[in-house]
Amino acid sequence: MTPGDVLDTLASALAPSCDALAVHTGFSSPMLAWALTTYLATQRQRLAHARAARARHTTPPPRNLLSIQARSVPTVPLDSLLLARLVGSPLTLKLPRETNHPLLDLLPVHVTSLPHESLDLTPFDAIIAYGHDATLEHIQQALQPHQRLIAHGHRVSYVLLTSTPSPDEAHRLAVDLTTWDQLGCMAPEAALLLPEVDADVTLHRLHEALLTIESLRPRRTLSPAGLAELHQRRAFDLFACDEVVEGPTHTLTLSSALPRDATPRSRYLPLVRVDAAERVLHPLLSVLSTVASNNPEHARTLVPGTRVCALGRMQFPAFDAPHDGVHPVDSLFCFT
Amino acid sequence: MSFSLIFFTRTMTTLESLDERVLRFQSDPAVEPFLAIANDLATWQYEHVPSLRRWWDHRGQHPPFDHLDDLPAVPTDAFRSTRFHDPERVPLRTFLTSGTTSGARGAHLRSTLRAYDHGARLHFRSAVQPPGRAQWPALALDAARHPESSLSYMIDLLAADDHASVHWLLTDEGLDPRLLQTHLTPDHPVVLFGTAFAFAELLQMQHAPLHPDSLLLETGGFKGRHAEVDRATFHARLAAHVHLDPARIRSEYSMTELSSQLYTLPGERRFLPPHWLHVSTADPDTLRPLPPGSEGLLRFVDLANTDTVLAVQTSDMGRVDVDGLVNLLGRDPRATPRGCSLAVEELLALQSMK
């Protein structure tokens, strides 16, 4: 089966299931349909590119793959399944105990919910793991020398705007914000605005773009606690920030300092004026996942080793992207 | 007389007259409608409290209001980023919220505490009915050394009203075992206020049984800092520990941003608010008012907040029953999932620990 066949199979399994997935996950059906379609298209494009480039890796493919999942990382089961199918490996998903991921009804995988200490790792020669750094260290210590681990710990992502975004760039940034409702480490913590950026125009354009996208692909329903947190944060920021722009399901703030504490990630983006982005990003180099920018070349000079992408591509990393500034997952495989 | 002095005198008089009206209403709810006082307080606060004016302008709502539920309530987190007070007045006291991970503490600046004091005494006497000749140890920090603690202020106030002085059993290092041995004895009834955390610590310590007429008042809840413990289970364990009838253990609910308190009634898990505190619920999504009996985010219109913020929006889920009693449902344990990302501060803190 070619990678294209794998993607076709996956697409045909997922396409009719978005309504059911929406019920399970809380994401809106239009958002799910769009995100899954875009995800599969992205992977198709990347795989085609890799094949065309005849990229070769000397590492033999795994014979038995284990993927240890974190909560609320929606595409991870797909990533793992796709990788396993590409190399013809069986796949075991280890899920958080309470997770009942609806994709699992559609995917040909073996699922375990055993706690880490009860999980026998010996049958697996390759393990992809997402989770707390402590969890990943625990797994690493339990491995034999022949077992390979690609570990993805906790990371953060940012947007860097080097010039005032055009309406199209604002739209693509809004895509980054709304895809998977800002869950996961590839959703931006904040957008950094260099001095050349007109902050008011940026706020206005992003607000308009979010209104458009949110009307087409509504956000998911939040818990009362999440909603209460948003209301509280909005009130806090009204007095703490230079400007606050509120939409029905998004909040944009403008300030000259990074938020002191965790912002409610979903539905919220602080825009922060900075004199020099490196002052913010350099201390975070070891924990950066992704930096998206309307000037990726400039961003790459600031954060070497970090995944840098164009606006609109934050949530769709390729297999060969250095996801956490560490190993790309394609180091497990050989594309020929 | 300068303009500023004239202005200052006028506002003093106005606030004092409002204070007087609230005090009369606290003593007798028949003197005038709640909404009439609320609207006059709202007007005064709109004119004199700039941060509140900014909030109401932001919401596009201004006094007078047709209904109490129309008042735009200020979320409690706003007390962390701004100060709600009349800048022409020197605060008598500043109450601070407990610390958060971000370090920013909310502050409630008070230039008058007359309605607070009067209301706290009245409602405690009527809702709690403390035992006679009780002593007042407290699992709280010394009010004199911690004037920022609204809990300690309230305990001190209520003890004085009961012709008692407070023995503070909590120090910066925790509960003092020597003081427990001295003040928790079966020889006389005690009125014992404390936070749930302090009572949890008490459960780990040895001391004599309490006099059967004693009354324990647990306040504060756990708010996610400990494993969630059902309040009834916790009270049952506490009752067994101090050899008291569980009905002698009650709960108090309030917060730094309010001036009024709610108490559970004996054998009842629901809270009784005083009549000068209007409690309702708001839709968590829109913050629009919900009909009585609906579960939502608790919001309060507190007439005793005369000089600051009349309407306060909390993050606590609750329900107000038709009999006016309030069910506290706590915070939704399903916090917004953040995926595999941590806040920057958390990450940097973890890095620095390595």
CB of B77 less than 8 A from some CB of A: yes
Query: Is 50 exceeded by the pLDDT of residue B10?
Result: no
> CB–CB of B254/B300 below 8 Å?
no
CB contact under 8 A, B343 and A262: yes
Say which residue the tokens 């190399």 belong to: A87
Nearest to A269 by CA among A233, A295, A223: A233
Tell me what the mean pLDDT of segment B308-334 comes to.
86
Minimum-distance CB partner of A223 among B78, B336, B344: B336
Instruction: Please identify among residues 249-288 of chain B the ones whose CB lies closer than 8 Å to any CB of chain A.
Output: 284-285, 287
In A127-166, alpha helices (H) = 133-142
Share of chain B above pLDDT 90, in %: 68
Average pLDDT over residues A304-326: 76
Q: Per the structure block, which two tokens stand in for B273?
A: 């608010």
Task: State which residue of chain A sits closest to B59, comparing Cα positions.
Answer: A235
* Banded model confidence at residue A19, pLDDT cuts 50, 70, 90: confident
User: How far does A58 lie from chain B, in Å, by closest CA?
Assistant: 31
**What does the pLDDT read at residue B145?**
93
The residue whose two tokens read 């007259």 is B17
Distance CA A80, CA A78 (A): 5
Minimal C-alpha gap between A87 and chain B (Å): 26
Asked if residues A289 and A325 have their Cβ atoms less than 8 Å apart, the reply is: yes
Average pLDDT over residues A45-69: 68
Q: What average pLDDT does chain A have?
A: 81
Is the distance from CB of B252 to CB of B219 less than 8 angstroms? yes
Residue A262 has pLDDT above 70, yes or no: no
Q: Is the peptide bond before A296 cis (omega within 30 degrees of 0)?
A: no
For the record, the structure tokens of B346 come out as 């958390």
Radius of gyration of chain B (CA): 21
> Which residues 31-70 on chain B approach chain A with CB closer than 8 angstroms?
51, 54-55, 58
Cβ contact, residue pair B81, A260, below 8 Å: no
Give me the residue label for tokens 């806040």: B343
Residue A31 C-alpha, separation from nearest chain B C-alpha, in angstroms: 17
Binned at pLDDT 50, 70 and 90, residue A149 comes out as confident
Tell which wins on pLDDT, B302 or B99.
Answer: B302
A113 CB-side CA count, 13 A: 8
The alpha carbon of B61 is separated from its chain's Cα centroid by a whole number of angstroms, namely 26
Asked if the model's pLDDT at residue B335 lies above 50, the reply is no
pLDDT for A220: 83
Q: Do A261 and B102 touch (CB under 8 A)?
A: yes
Above 90 in pLDDT, residue A335? Answer: no
- DSSP character string of B267-299: T--SEEPPTTEEEEEE-TTT--B--TT--EEEE
| Cross-chain residue pair A239–B343, CB shorter than 8 Å | no
Taking the Cβ of residue B335 and every Cβ of chain A, the question of whether any pair is shorter than 8 Å is answered with yes
pLDDT higher for B191 or B97? B191
Taking CA–CA distances from A71, the nearest residue in chain B reads B339
Are A317 and A187 in contact by the 8 Å Cβ rule? The answer is no
- Mean pLDDT over A168-192 rounds to 91
Position A102 scores a pLDDT of: 59
Q: Does residue A167 have a cis peptide bond before it, meaning omega lies within 30 degrees of 0? A: no
Q: What is the mean pLDDT of chain B?
A: 86
| Residue A247 confidence (pLDDT) | 93
pLDDT of residue B99: 62
pLDDT at B346 over 50: no
φ, ψ dihedrals at B109, nearest 5°: -90, 130
Nearest residue of B to residue A245 by CA position?
B58
With CB atoms and an 8 Å threshold, state whether B284 touches A224. yes
How much is the pLDDT for B229? 59
Phi, psi of B240 (to 5 degrees): -65, -40
Of B313, B333, B344, nearest to A156 by CB-CB distance is: B344
Q: Do B351 and A287 touch (CB under 8 A)?
A: yes
Chain A residues whose beta carbon lies within 8 Å of the beta carbon of residue B331: 225, 228
Q: Whose structure tokens read 């302008």?
A: B57
> Please, are residues B122 and B101 in contact by the beta-carbon 8 Å criterion?
no
How far does A184 lie from chain B, in Å, by closest CA?
4
Give residue A165's identity as a one-letter amino acid code: P
Between chain A and chain B, how many beta carbons pairs sit less than 8 Å apart? 145
Tokens encoding B104: 């920013």
Report pLDDT for A286. Answer: 81
Do B351 and A223 count as a contact with CB atoms less than 8 A apart? no
B9 pLDDT tier (thresholds 50, 70, 90) = very low
Q: Determine the pLDDT at residue A261.
A: 64
Mean pLDDT of A145-167: 89
Contact B345 A261 (CB under 8 A): yes
- Nearest residue to B317 (alpha-carbon basis) of B285, B292, B282, B289: B282
Measured between beta carbons, which residues in chain A are less than 8 angstroms from residue B345? 260-262
B349 contacts chain A (CB < 8 A): no
User: Which of B101, B296, B336 has the CB atom closest to A229's CB atom?
Assistant: B336
Which residues on chain A are in Cβ contact (under 8 Å) with B341? 154-157, 184-185, 187, 189, 265, 289
ipTM surpasses cut 0.85: no
Give residue-wise pLDDT tens across range B208-257.
889 999 999 998 755 544 444 577 888 899 999 999 999 999 999 999 99
Residues of B in contact with A286 (CB under 8 A): 351
Q: For residue B112, what is the enclosing H or E element?
A: none
Question: What does the pLDDT look like over A113-130, one tens digit per residue?
Answer: 676 667 788 999 888 887
Calculate the alpha carbon distances from A302 to A55, A66, A283, B31, B159 in Å.
Answer: 27, 35, 11, 69, 62
pLDDT in tens, A72-116: 555 556 777 777 777 778 888 887 655 555 566 666 667 776 766
Pairwise CA distance, residues A227 & A217, whole Å: 19
